[in-house]
Amino acid sequence: MILIDGKKAAAELREELKQEVLQLKAKHNKVPGLTVILIGDMAPSQIYVRNKEKSANEVGLKSEVIKYPEAVEEKTVLDKIEELNKDENISGILVQLPLPKHIDKQKVIETILPEKDVDGFHPMNVGNLSSGYESSVPCTPLGCYLMIKKIEPNLSGKKAVMIGRSNLNGKPMAQLLLKENCTVTITHSKTKDLKAECLEADIIVAAVGIPELVKADWVKKDAIVIDVGINKTEKGIVGDVAFDEVSKVAKALTPVPGGVGPMTIACLLKNTIECFKRSQK
Ligand code: NAD
């Protein structure tokens, strides 16, 4: 079984991006800039944002975090986004989710210029991805995609099953694999026989949020299994896949932690650099 080492894959990607930033700096005399807006003091968000900033600095991007208290007015945030949209030194804008209830998530997402939307959540980017045009792609599925491609460069004709249909994971992941000519099934909480769907799959991407939902007898021998789930349990953080048993049947499997998570952040940096490059065209 191939243990897909997300930490190593992310370190390799960061090294590639670092070289690219150096080349871009030499060519354009400036580096891509990423601005993250963090609202409130939720611990996981604070940790994510700190990791994002650290990684951005590591590859040589200009990065900035703008913090607002939980009670900040929606208008203040939207005005700041408008200001960042106009700032030529900012290539990418990310507003860390989740947001406090009084702030309209969709309004925030749609205020970010699609060209600076490093999360790939703007409807324009969602549409471009599903139409097969150039777009920012949400970081987590992009990371999963890059790891799958490393294991299996030719995905044409493979049967891929997404577990979960969120805008963040399942749907964009399905689009990426469809583009690779996979036959894609998107399953969700109302799917009748999830086990039977999974047993058909050459590739399973689990993004559900249910600890160890995917068991060994759901997985076809030699399937590639990507575990996006992050679940806090009594025995610590576990994924959506029962790692020990599935590792005995799968061809390749991502661990939790140390799989999809590190690649997600590296892909945010990649997206920032792609936005910068498109802006220079
Ligand atoms: P979500 O809650 O938005 O979506 C969950 C999806 O799972 C829904 O589409 C729902 O229909 C489906 N679902 C629920 N119960 C199901 C069942 N019994 N069978 C089949 N499908 C079912 O979640 P999300 O934002 O996509 O996140 C999913 C998981 O991935 C969470 O554990 C989250 O913490 C994790 N996550 C990890 C990363 C990372 O970088 N590793 C990034 C984002 C999310």
- pTM over 0.85? The answer is yes
pLDDT at 281 over 90: no
Catalytic pick from 117, 119, 227, 240?
Answer: 119
pLDDT at 180 over 90: yes
CB contact set of 88 (below 8 Å; sequence gap of 6+): none
Probe ligand 1: pick from 171, 189, 227, 263, max atoms within 8 Å of CB?
189
Q: How far is CA 173 from the centre of its chain?
A: 9
Helix (H) or strand (E) holding 259: none
Answer yes or no: are the C-beta atoms of 96 and 48 closer than 8 Å: yes
Answer yes or no: 119 catalytic.
Answer: yes
Q: Is 163 in the pocket of ligand 1 (CB under 6 A)?
A: yes
- pLDDT (mean) for 267-276: 98
| Per-residue pLDDT tens digits for 76-120 | 999 999 999 999 999 999 999 999 999 999 999 999 999 999 999
Q: Is 204 helix (H, G, I), strand (E, B) or coil?
A: strand
CATH superfamily placement of domain 29-113: Leucine Dehydrogenase, chain A, domain 1 (3.40.50.10860)
Q: Do 29-113 and 139-261 agree at the fold level? A: yes
Q: What are the tokens at 272?
A: 């920032």
Catalytic pick from 52, 171, 220, 270?
Answer: 52
Given the candidates 1.10.1040.10, 3.40.50.1220, 3.40.50.720, 3.60.21.10, the CATH classification of the domain at 139-261 is 3.40.50.720
Answer yes or no: 41 catalytic.
Answer: no
Q: Where do the structural domains in the chain lie, given as residue ranges? A: 29-113, 139-261
Atom of ligand 1 nearest to the CA of 170: 26
| Per-residue pLDDT tens digits for 4-45 | 999 999 999 999 999 999 999 999 999 999 999 999 999 889
DSSP H helices, 87-122, are: 105-111
Other beta carbons within 10 Å of 73: 11
- pLDDT (mean) for 233-258: 97
229 φ/ψ angles, rounded to the nearest 5 degrees:
-60, 145
